[in-house]
């Protein structure tokens, strides 16, 4: 059968790195069709719609997809809402899986983390409202944060399952470990529920060999930078997961190399962790590695494991050689040169 | 007149570092009285109260105070609520001011940041509730996040004022700069209000020489590690400020050296940024530097500027010499030895 992959480059360098990832997929898979789909802030500026219904409808008929990056408005824009956040919710892609690893991280220490970010709730439900005091004219804004037992247990289960899968292959960790990130010393009810739900999942006899630890989110950011080598799988509510994964990216040299997959029970969207980088967009020097690795994660989920591994190995080779790198990694290569170099190593 | 300072060591190493800071203050100020006050999780475990009314009442008669650190319960504890969060609210200490600097940070780059964290609202209002679905028995937890124009403008004003004050003394920054941290690409209403409020304050002609920048909180954590030298004053809502300051601490070697002041219009509480460190509590090896620097910040706010500077210089000397350091900084000295060394340099 032939594979159909939706491509949503969206904004800025998304339009450069997604075509690069497409080329790589074409090289490892014979029968594959691509469908280009619209979304993004730039689209919103033109049409008033950031995520067309059509994009979602066509996507549902694809086997999987790749998303580029989305720009953030530089001031308040009525009616605009992030298309990637909407997509995750609409397709119930409840986990954002972010592997971060490097034999020698920024601090000279190895790092081999898998961040599992809950992808559907927390403050990302975007239930907000604004009030104005009729007397003073001063505004007060409110946002709801929702944490459910259902979503917390579901994401915890994925974290523990992944810890067991990882333990089958050699990593820098001698035993599988899951670190639960929360801030229950302040948010005893919401983060308390997240933590208790993860703890309840940990009780499953299947997971008896998995070490369970906890970190308050502030302390997590601190310790991740001091001793990144101690973290294996990290599970976190949506916002903390967002922050931690950007922090972890700094430890492996650049956001330009960190991939993610938005995973649901029936669909997967690969997505580089980096943003749309308006400062370098259009210059042809954006790093395609994160998008290419996201493509590998997508293929892995679709069952094309050998092809995924081939891509991963080729990327690692290019990075280890260190000769063909984009400026974010201290090199002088273009997006196209890095892409060609990966292809040469396939 | 004689100065009266409240001391609230609270939990764990708070009980070691606050007496150290007390010794230092005694050395630089002739007429000073100290009042020891109770609070903390350990107190809660004994008495069911984490912050006695009496502590707050006596505190209000003091000129200022020092707070140690508070332990976090390792599981759900009904009725417990963090005393430092409560204190900040009760005394309207609306700003948490956290200077982080080092001539040569963890990545070999200089860092000279002042983090101004809003201290009274955001998710820290702790307005939470739990629901249970009667059919499934599954729980849903909700938390309210509140951001007001009033508090946002108040904290922004402090940030811009501090930027101007800092610009009078040589720093690594050639021009004063304020970076506004938010996540308005997702939380367009609450973080949107924070951002717009800061932007409105920036319009004040007084601040015309201050450069204004913005960072999304995830990107902020990333960039802080990649190029810490570009940040001067950073202003953030409560939770982001909490996370960022722990992250910044990792860049200057240890949480054990980062001080803060909880500042209101009428009162100041100095507070080391580190926690109660149960793993090393009682061993006499906790780093007193953060508490000592917090004491200096307190004295500065109380108008004892020369004394504050004396302490700061002595601490810098001890750190630069690098001979008498606690284990968190790679040394072998005890809390007492570091304290004596600082005294010797006063
Ligand atoms: C673009 C933004 C809405 C998004 C998020 O916060 O989830 C991004 O930061 C990410 O991590 O994928
Ligand atoms: C102990 C905890 C409630 C506190 C906070 O989150 O404010 C601490 O992390 C801090 O930064 O002072």
Q: Write out chain B's pLDDT in tens, 346 residues.
A: 789 999 999 999 999 999 999 999 999 999 999 999 999 999 999 999 999 999 999 999 999 999 999 998 877 788 899 999 999 999 999 999 999 998 777 777 889 999 999 999 999 999 999 999 999 999 999 999 999 999 999 999 999 999 999 999 888 999 999 999 999 999 999 999 999 999 999 999 999 999 999 999 999 999 999 899 999 999 999 999 999 999 999 998 889 999 999 999 999 999 999 999 999 999 999 999 999 999 999 999 999 999 999 999 999 999 999 999 999 999 999 999 999 999 999 9
CATH superfamily of A1-97+257-346: Isopropylmalate Dehydrogenase (3.40.718.10)
Sequence-ordered list of residues with C-beta below 8 angstroms from that of A8, at least 6 positions apart, any chain: A14, A18, A37, A38, A39, A40, A55, A59, A65, A66, A67, A68, A83
pLDDT per residue over B6-53, tens digit each?
A: 999 999 999 999 999 999 999 999 999 999 999 999 999 999 999 999
Output the CA torsion sign for A185, A189, A191, A192.
Answer: positive
Model pLDDT for residues B278-328, shown as the tens digit of each residue: 999 999 999 999 999 999 999 999 999 999 999 999 999 999 999 999 999
Task: Check CB contact under 8 Å for A218 and B245.
Answer: yes
Question: In degrees, to the nearest 5, what angle opens at C-alpha A139 toward C-alphas A134 and A145?
Answer: 125
Nearest CA in chain B to A241: B218
- Domain A106-251: CATH superfamily, name plus number: Isopropylmalate Dehydrogenase (3.40.718.10)
b/e A104-137 (16+ beta carbons within 10 angstroms → b): ebbbebebbbbbbbbbbbbbbebebeeeeeeeee
Count CB neighbours of B65 within 10 A.
27
Q: How far is CA A211 from CA A184, A199, A220, A221, A230, in A?
A: 20, 11, 17, 20, 12
* Nearest listed ligand to the Cα of residue B274: 2
CATH 3.30.1330.60 is held by the domain B1-96+258-346: no
How many CB atoms are closer than 10 A to CB A71?
A: 22
CA A43 – CA A73 distance, rounded (Å): 12
Indicate the domain borders of chain A: 1-97+257-346, 106-251
Whole-angstrom Cα distance, residue B72 to residue A195? 13
Distance of CA A104 to the CA centre of its chain: 22
Q: What's the 3-state SS for A261-304? A: EEECCCCEEECCCCCCCCCCCCCCCCCCHHHHHHHHHHHHHCCC
Is B242 touching ligand 2 by the criterion CB < 6 Å?
A: yes
* Closest residue in A to B241 (Cα–Cα): A218
| Orientation of helix B305-321 relative to helix B289-301, angle to 10° | 160
pTM as predicted: 0.95
Rounded (5°) CA angle B311-B313-B317? 115
The whole-angstrom separation of Cα A125 and Cα A148 is 12
Burial A310-338 (b: 16+ CB within 10 A, else e): bbbebbeebbeeeebbbbbbebebbbebb
Tell me which of A83, A84, A247 to substitute to probe ligand 1's pocket, judged by most ligand atoms within 8 Å of the beta carbon.
A84
Q: Check if A122 contacts B (Cβ < 8 Å).
A: no
Q: Which residue of A has its CA nearest to B195?
A: A75
pLDDT in tens, chain A (346 residues): 789 999 999 999 999 999 999 999 999 999 999 999 999 999 999 999 999 999 999 999 999 999 999 998 877 788 899 999 999 999 999 999 999 998 777 777 889 999 999 999 999 999 999 999 999 999 999 999 999 999 999 999 999 999 999 999 888 999 999 999 999 999 999 999 999 999 999 999 999 999 999 999 999 999 999 999 999 999 999 999 999 999 999 999 889 999 999 999 999 999 999 999 999 999 999 999 999 999 999 999 999 999 999 999 999 999 999 999 999 999 999 999 999 999 999 9
Of ligand 2's listed atoms, the one at least distance from the Cα of B245 is 11
Kindly give, in sequence order, each residue whose CB lies less than 8 Å from that of residue A61, ignoring residues fewer than 6 positions away.
Answer: A4
A78 touches chain B (CB under 8 A): no
Task: Please report the atom of ligand 2 found closest to the CA of residue B242.
Answer: 11
Q: What is the spatial distance between Cα B261 and Cα A312, in angstroms, rounded to a whole number?
A: 48
| DSSP assignments along A214-274, one per residue | EEEHHHHHHHHHH-GGG--EEEE-HHHHHHHHHHHHHHTS-GGG---EEE-SS-EEE--SS
Give the list of residues 6+ apart from residue B94 with CB closer than 8 angstroms, or none.
Answer: B88, B118, B119, B120, B151, B154, B155, B263, B264
Nearest CA to ligand 2 atom 11: B242
Angle at B331 between CA B340 and CA B98, to 5 degrees: 75
Using a 6 Å cutoff on CB, does residue A50 contact ligand 1? no
Q: Is the dihedral of CA A301, A262, A61, A22 positive or negative?
A: negative
Could you tell me if B112 and B162 are in contact, meaning their C-beta atoms sit under 8 angstroms apart? no
User: Between residues 251 and 280 of chain B, which touch chain A (CB distance below 8 Å)?
Assistant: 251, 255, 275
Nearest CA to ligand 1 atom 5: A242
Mutation target for B interface from A83, A102, A186, A187: give the one with most B CBs within 10 A.
A186
């Amino acid at each position: 059968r032939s594979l159909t992959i939706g491509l949503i480059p969206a904004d800025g360098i998304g339009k450069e790195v997604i075509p690069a990832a497409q080329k790589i997929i074409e090289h490892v898979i014979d029968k594959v069709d691509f469908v280009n789909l619209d979304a993004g802030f730039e689209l919103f500026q033109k049409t008033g719609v950031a995520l067309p219904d059509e994009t979602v409808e066509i996507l549902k008929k694809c086997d999987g997809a790749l998303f580029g990056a989305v720009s953030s408005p530089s001031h308040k824009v009525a009616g605009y809402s992030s298309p990637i956040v909407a997509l995750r919710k609409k397709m119930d892609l409840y986990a954002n899986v972010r592997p971060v690893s490097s034999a020698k991280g920024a601090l000279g220490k190895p790092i081999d983390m898998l961040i599992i970010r809950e992808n559907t709730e927390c403050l990302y439900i975007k239930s907000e409202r604004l009030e104005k005091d009729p007397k003073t004219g001063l505004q007060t804004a409110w946002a709801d944060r929702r944490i459910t037992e259902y979503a917390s247990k579901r994401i915890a289960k994925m974290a523990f399952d992944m810890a067991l899968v990882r333990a089958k292959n050699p990593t820098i960790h001698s035993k599988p470990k899951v670190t639960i990130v929360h801030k229950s010393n302040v948010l005893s009810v919401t983060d308390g529920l997240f933590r208790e739900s993860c703890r309840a999942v940990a009780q499953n006899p299947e997971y008896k060999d998995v070490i369970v630890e906890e970190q308050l989110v502030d302390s997590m950011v601190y310790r991740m930078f001091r001793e990144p080598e101690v973290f294996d799988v990290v599970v976190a509510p949506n916002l903390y997961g967002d922050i931690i994964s950007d922090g972890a990216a700094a430890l492996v040299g650049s956001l330009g190399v960190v991939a993610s997959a938005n995973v649901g029970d029936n669909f997967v969207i690969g997505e580089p962790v980096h943003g749309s980088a308006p400062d370098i967009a259009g210059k042809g020097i954006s790093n395609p590695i994160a998008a290419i690795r996201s493509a590998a994660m997508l293929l892995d989920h679709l069952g094309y494991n050998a092809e995924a591994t081939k891509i991963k190995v080729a990327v690692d080779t290019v990075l280890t050689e260190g000769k063909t790198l984009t400026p974010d990694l201290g090199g002088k290569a273009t997006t196209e040169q890095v892409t060609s170099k990966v292809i040469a190593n396939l």
